[in-house]
Amino acid sequence: MNKFLFLIFFYFLCSSTIANAGIDEAGSGNWCQLYNKGIKLAEENQKNKIKKNKKYSMIYAACETDGVAYQSYLGNDLEKLKKKTYKKCMEMAKEYNLKDCYIFSLNGEVLWQKKYDWDKGSKRAKLLADKADKEEKLINEKDMKLGRFIEDQPDVNDDYQIHFIYMLAADGKDREFDINGKIEKYAYKMNKLHEKYSKKVKGSSGAKKYKYDYREDGKLDITFIRLDKKRKKFHKYINNNYKGWLWLNGFNNPKKHYFTFADVTSPDGGEGGVGMSSVFLKSKYNRKVVNMVATAVHELHHGMGGGFACVPGMSGKAHWIGNRQDTIEKQIFMGKAYVHDEEGCPKGEDSAFLTPTSKDPYDPFKFTCLNEWTKYNHPKLVNAREKQAQELTKGKRTKGGGSSCKFSYWDNNSGEIKLFNDQEAKSAYQREQSN
């Protein structure tokens, strides 16, 4: 009796599975008579979605040598929409003796002839729709491409790490550097350059490289960001605005440094400080990859708080005296900026973002952004911070002994540099400064 019941259960289970085989699958076949028409249908469906303020547009189709059938609907609940569209398509398919319906398109993207994972695809679609609902549209739908992520992915550890970003202005051309291997290539070259020269510094503990943020699948974690304004609407030094956007959108983990490959124009090759830094891919200084990579490592050093005024040969403007960068070692802050004997002065090789980790690492965010300098009390650092506080009360801005904290604002009344709150971050992003 039990065996008989099991066989009945198994029969219905298999029947159900077979009957719904295409509900989570994209269709295939170049011969499909619907294909060219379906592309236009998908585009129209997406336009109607936007016009009627719906979250999702979907088309299911059956396409065999005996004929075609399709149905398209709009909706706000993706699972209900999927079942409804599939059901209606199947009703039409049965009239023409067609076996099954498959996904043709979702939100205007034609999925026919593509390998498609419903769980991953629906997750992307829901994420995009939820962001739009909250008026935090981080990406337009044409930018949503296979392998692309618009949020920082789950971390594999809680260590300090560099998180990479590919950023465009609203009018920027998407060159897909986050998904075509370019940023992985640049990041690799950055660490190779740092390893090569870090082991050459006199007194160095050996070759070191930066700790990068990886996804659970072992690949470099890269976030795609498209800003909601055209390039000309931002300050010519775009990081002045961009830092506010990062803070407001959750890119403000104190144990991460956010490094952006910004596909925009800029008068400089790069710019940065503690918390975030960027290289500007359309700058005239970055036409050669070798120059861009050296600039990137240079900006990462600023991200670690350097160059510190207490380093022999360093000016009060966080660069070498005279701003001389006539050798690669000077450009990427090696030599005394990396290893020195100055008591109470941070050494570049001790940054917590480098591996192998120093026996006595420092956290640049704590002392630059939170003003917790602890043992770093070199007279030049103390004097620089005291002078900075005095100048601030007069409305003047000076360096505080090293690179500044990017997630901060200048409070002239108190003479203090304070960590961002949402109001100050929003003000920074929206501020239109003269170019």
Mean pLDDT over each residue of the chain, to the nearest integer: 88
pLDDT, position 131? 64
pTM > 0.75: yes or no: no
pLDDT, position 164? 98
The three-state secondary structure class of 213 is coil
pLDDT tier at 138, thresholds 50, 70, 90: very low
Q: Quick check: 242 pLDDT over 90?
A: yes
pLDDT, position 30? 65
pLDDT tier at 162, thresholds 50, 70, 90: very high
Q: Quick check: 140 pLDDT over 70?
A: no
pLDDT, position 139? 58
Q: Calculate what percentage of the chain has a pLDDT beyond 70.
A: 91
* Mean pLDDT on 262-276: 96
Q: Calculate what percentage of the chain has a pLDDT beyond 90.
A: 66
Question: Where along the chain do its domains lie?
Answer: 20-131, 161-430
* Mean pLDDT on 157-176: 96
pLDDT tier at 12, thresholds 50, 70, 90: very low
Q: Quick check: 179 pLDDT over 70?
A: yes
Q: Quick check: 295 pLDDT over 60?
A: yes
